Structure 1
């Protein structure tokens, strides 16, 4: 049963490699807007950034093991000037991508796991969230001007037993001596998944810096289209700190407030506190609506969902560590409390 998943992931990974392989020259003079002749915005030169994220409802203040119970995500973001020339030209042709910008690509792998409230029941409550796993790889295209960040990404993967959600959760629970979940036999059926995401973030529309202290507010808007998720979203993030790094807030696992893997080192110790909010109008969520092409467990989802988050980010040299505490409003009828979970990310810039 694992072979179809690995075949799908392998084919998509090969496609990512083909896109990433022919790197462009690193000469900044090639990063000139062909229409205006204006030099592009240039952050400090880097060779790429690796970011690893873990989200879990056991982190922080909830102590529960339900609903969105665990997420893993690893991302490689290309370095300055590594985008192939032909790929830059494709991006310049997109009407919503600025031509006078730094172009980067991202490669990612992730897994998200969802369970009902009662994981000890052999026959889960049909009015509670179904069991489901979602394992995927992603290929992203980013354009940064210094004031805005546009991101276009496609995630391809599988929902259902091939996603190995049961194996991930129960093997880990057995390792740490915790009761395993009993109802995975009722999880969503196998289904290929595809989601196209677009996001735009505006950095520091309102900001000030005094001495070593800084403050900024960064709004964002975005949308997702696919058989796994379809929604429109908008919100914003406030940051306040010392030696405030130039970034767009901490990264998260979708659906969520967007952030950035990319960050600018401050040359020493830096950090900030942050808080943000996002509202989403949801047309499709396979983990609540059930499988697309066959009958499966499902619940009646709520159309409007909101996230509130707060946390801390610390940078030291080329390393950034962040912790986020998130609260998500009820997502389906019969859910009487919001979900609370934490997110930890570690990013290293090469």
Structure 2
């Protein structure tokens, strides 16, 4: 069956940085990636352009997962390529007879040890690592369920350009120079095949006269970059709840999506989510697959707690997420990771 188509200054190890300047610098980097998505937008009458920035600058730290940038394009229902529809027909977990959209993305992640001023960081601290990638995927949404399948390919190591990106941004905002990139992971091509399913439940329920819904999810990823199984739950609570599954995030994370259908007029919602992951492979902790490199003993179980707010108005959705992540490796001690995620999705 075929498918239908005077402000305080923040201190960071130990340089003084105004957070606004640093955010501006990273947004400039995001604009360097934007032409790919913008080109896709020009080719489609409708679709959703999403930009995501994840960074620990919001919590005055510069360590572990320190920065992620992703630009994505989600096609309109009637603009889905035929090859995507054929692929969806062959994938047994996708619902039959529902509209399928294609997704395309480019992004860069960055990982560093705790003290970036050291040329030779401790061997029991997270190694330097970067991940430059492109993704192609498909989603199917039924009104009650969202299926997402995505293949990501890219490069780890110097070819990821993470060293150049961090050094240029830190130079621009007069932050500490990261000096240990000579110890980063070696060049290695990588891939991730990820699938997730989210179910909207208790839809149109209300608490104190305000609607809410719950969205359980489950899925997993397979590849030499990440291999894990994940499951969790998200709660949304607000006015004029759009049909969506939370703001988009950069994996691994509580899954959101660029997909959204706004209600008429202004809308908002608060959200909170939790996820547990059983991790079999994380190259940024385990080190290179076929070459000697720095590595640490990873934690096999990792948990994320997140909460935030999203607003919708006409064809726009803006979201902010605060993420608390349990420790990912033994040498991390009792220090969890805190970082923020800004997202902007625009229907075009």
TM-score (ref. length: structure 1): 0.85
**Aligned residue number for residue 229 of structure 2:** 232
Aligned match of 1:208 in 205, 221, 224? 205
**Aligned residue number for residue 338 of structure 1:** 336
**Aligned residue number for residue 98 of structure 1:** 95
> Number of aligned pairs?
309
**Quick one: distance in 1 between partners of 2:317 and 2:89?**
31
Question: C-alpha displacement at 1:203, in angstroms?
Answer: 1.4
Aligned match of 2:218 in 218, 221, 228? 221
**Aligned residue number for residue 53 of structure 1:** 52
Aligned match of 1:198 in 195, 200, 206? 195
Alignment of 1:1-350 (within 5 A): 47-59=46-58, 62-205=59-202, 207-209=204-206, 213-336=210-333, 337-350=335-348
**Quick one: distance in 1 between partners of 2:194 and 2:249?**
14
**Quick one: distance in 2 between partners of 1:162 and 1:204?**
43
CA-to-partner distance for each residue in 1:145-179, whole Å, 9 max, x for gaps? 11111111000000000100111111000001111
Question: C-alpha displacement at 1:211, in angstroms?
Answer: 10
Residue segments in structure 2 that go unaligned for 5+ positions in a row? 1-35
C-alpha contact (below 8 Å) 1:88/1:103 kept by paired residues: yes
Question: C-alpha displacement at 1:106, in angstroms?
Answer: 0.3
Residue segments in structure 1 that go unaligned for 5+ positions in a row? 1-12, 24-45
C-alpha contact (below 8 Å) 1:213/1:244 kept by paired residues: no
- Across the aligned residues of Structure 1 and Structure 2, the Cα RMSD in angstroms comes to 2.0
CA-to-partner distance for each residue in 1:224-260, whole Å, 9 max, x for gaps? 0000000000001000000111100111100000011
Structure 2 counterpart SS, 1:109: strand
Structure 1 counterpart SS, 2:261: coil
Question: C-alpha displacement at 1:204, in angstroms?
Answer: 2.8
Structure 2 counterpart SS, 1:298: coil
**Quick one: distance in 1 between partners of 2:150 and 2:65?**
22
CA-to-partner distance for each residue in 1:77-122, whole Å, 9 max, x for gaps? 0002212345323312221111121100000001000000010111
Question: C-alpha displacement at 1:212, in angstroms?
Answer: 7.5
**Quick one: distance in 2 between partners of 1:181 and 1:87?**
42
Structure 2 counterpart SS, 1:90: helix
Provide closer, same or farther for how the CA distance between residues 299 and 91 of structure 1 changes in structure 2, counting only shifts above 3 A: same
C-alpha contact (below 8 Å) 1:207/1:217 kept by paired residues: no
Which portions of structure 1, spanning 4 or more consecutive aligned residues, are displaced by more than 6 angstroms? none
C-alpha contact (below 8 Å) 2:81/2:102 kept by paired residues: no
**Aligned residue number for residue 8 of structure 1:** none
Provide closer, same or farther for how the CA distance between residues 119 and 211 of structure 1 changes in structure 2, counting only shifts above 3 A: closer
**Aligned residue number for residue 9 of structure 1:** none
